[in-house]
Amino acid sequence: MRRSPKDTEDSARIIGRRALLLGGVQLAVAGTLIARMRFMQVDQADEFRLLADENRINIRLLPPARGLIYDRNGVTLAENEQNHRIVLVREDAGDVDDVLARIAPIIDLTDEDIAQLKEEIFRRSPFVPVTIADRLSWEQFSRVAVNAPALPGITPEVGFSRVYPLDKDFAHVVGYVGPVSDYDLTKGYLQDDNDPLLQIPRFQVGKTGVEAKLEHGLRGAAGTKRIEVNAVGRVMRELGREEGRKGDALQLTLDSMLQNYLQARLGEESASAVVVDVEHGDILAMASSPAFDPNKFVRGITVADYNALQDSEYRPLFAKSVQGAYPPGSTFKMITALAALDDGVITPDETITCNGFKEVADRKFHCWKRGGHGKVALNRSLMESCDVFYYDLAERVGIEKIAAMARKLGLGQRYELPQAVHSGLMPSRSWKTQNRGRDWVIGDTLNSAIGQGFVLASPLQLAIMTARLASGRTLLPRIVKTENGVEVPLPNMPPLDINPDHLNLVRKGMFDVVNGPRGTARGSRVAADGIRMAGKTGTSQVRNITNAERAQGITRNEDLPWNRRDHALFVNYAPYDAPKFACSVVVEHGGGGSQAAAPIARDIILQALYDGTPPLSAYPSSQRGRIRTQQEKLILRDPAEFGRESDRA
């Protein structure tokens, strides 16, 4: 069948369009191939020539800048400083012995240094950079850079190293960093961490404190750089880099000025102190004494310095404020009183006669006052710290209800903080059976009622207990205020499940401890109007007193070896009518709480209230001369270091 001229014309048009479309596609493909070939053969010719010539482009990790740490006012607690160092890559170095021999006179390496470096180099993969030396002077660094063409595998680098500008003040809280060790990677807290940065020799990771507990956020993420290496392993140039992510910036709740005062006021005592904001639960200061300079650990502490710290009986490396666990002594009596009031076994006006001891199960439990206190009601029992009163309460209320009240007030629990926190111990019948293999006896209850026996608490727990008593809320401690500028939300802190009237009775007793005519801490009262203080003394025994010693007269603390003396404790809050701050102080083997711990705690709470050195008018007139001398002798930092203009003198 013959096609019409019109059909032939239409068919020709369709074929023409298809031909044009196909030709266009072919032309586009050809153009793309030509452009790609030109890019690879012309624009990237040098790079691909190097890739073809024995893989001469290497990828290196770029350690990120570690996150900075600040106090609540923006004062820097941990920062980074430039660190000039040199690294060696074994696969690029060729003859390692020859390279080390050439570089040794340039940076003053000893034979011992070289032996240690060789051991480290051959323990690592051939492509892993090994730090040959760091913290080089500019002169040493320049000499290496000038001689780089003759040092295959050697690369001068400018990195960062950690520095703590306030040295001892935050040693136990912030902690310090150090080179990652095999123990950290195999048995320590980094054993499940696959970050390639940890394979870099001498890479710094957190070892203690916030630095360790928040290591992952502070570390950041690695970047990379591409470098050109010639045939003999010398670095010729950097081809490109991708910067990593710097570590998180942290702002802590602590106040640098107050922290500095705590460290200065504790001096060289083996002691600790904690200050808590009663409204939010923020930890404003947390000090352990004596302290140490964390910068020494970053730079490499000498054996002599480390042994001096390790061997000291005052344990300067130990964070006593959170890791210490002490019998709370009479600071525990508020708990026993509240348990008895809550259980209805006592009324506020009921009296108990104290003759100096209570006999239970053929055993005498003694009061600290040998002749006894006579007839004692609740308020006086706290004010004068009568032990027999609490023995009697304990016998009536029992250990389980005392333990339950203690837990309500924060004892016997581990708080979620970026610290190695001790949980303390609030014992019970089941605890003794499981851990000591013996039944609970009535004597255990009586000892627990006055904060002795098995009961243990950290200074942090005692400060939180006091803040809860003052506020009537279930306060929880917080130490990180913001992360990368974002506020860390406050936890829910509901009212305590304790009768408010009972809390008021205990608070009045604590007020009279400091301000009453026979209060055990009357010597440490505050004289300023409107900021009266409430508190409670505590003295915890660390040795058993035999009947023979009691008969002859108990040996005075000052006549005993230091490590056999009683611990001194004091807890307080102020102002009494509108609490702002709560504080706890523990002086190891300090003797009586009223003499050793209460004056320190009073000075600390005033320092917090006045946001600096309080006026002498805040102290009783009879003490002002001594306080003036004490203030003059304290070695405090210049307020300018904290960005503050107020005069502390």
Residues with active-site annotation: 330
Q: Which residues contact 471 (CB under 8 A, 6 or more apart)?
A: 278, 279, 579
Cβ within 8 Å of residue 442, ≥6 positions away: 360, 361, 395
Cα–Cα distances in angstroms (integers) from residue 397 to residues 302, 502, 627, in the given order: 56, 16, 44
At residue 285, the 3 state secondary structure works out as strand
User: Helical H runs in 472-623?
Assistant: 500-515, 547-552, 598-610
Residue with tokens 């012309």: 42
- The 3-class secondary structure across 346-381, one letter per residue, is CCCCCCEEECCEEEECCEEEECCCCCCCEEECHHHH
Helices 111-123/96-107 angle, 10° precision: 140
Q: Does residue 604 contact residue 585 with C-beta atoms inside 8 Å?
A: yes
Helices (H), 472-554: 500-515, 547-552
Strand-pair category, 69-70 with 250-252: parallel
Q: How many helices (H) and strands (E) does the chain have?
A: 24, 21
C-alpha distances in angstroms, 4 versus 8, 11, 314, 363? 6, 11, 114, 130
Reference 336, options 483, 450, 256; nearest CA is 450
- The C-alpha atoms of residue 330 and residue 597 are separated, in whole angstroms, by 13
What region, left, alpha or beta, does residue 404 occupy, with left being phi > 0 and alpha being psi -120 to 50 degrees?
A: alpha
Q: Which contiguous run of DSSP H or E holds residue 163?
A: strand 154-163
Among residues 17, 542, 487, 84, the alpha carbon closest in space to that of 327 is found at: 542
How many C-beta atoms lie closer than 10 Å to residue 449's C-beta?
29
Give the amino acid at 542.
Answer: V
d(CA 643, CA 565): 41
Which tokens go with 62? 């770029």
User: Which amino acid, residue 180?
Assistant: V
Structure tokens at 603: 């000075």
CB 580 within 8 A of CB 574: yes
Q: How far apart are CA 185 and CA 557, in angstroms?
A: 47
Torsion of CA 500, 503, 505, 506, to 10 degrees: 180
Residue 97, H or E segment: helix 96-107
Handedness of CA 224, 225, 230, 235 (dihedral sign): negative
* CB neighbourhood size of 32 (10 A): 10
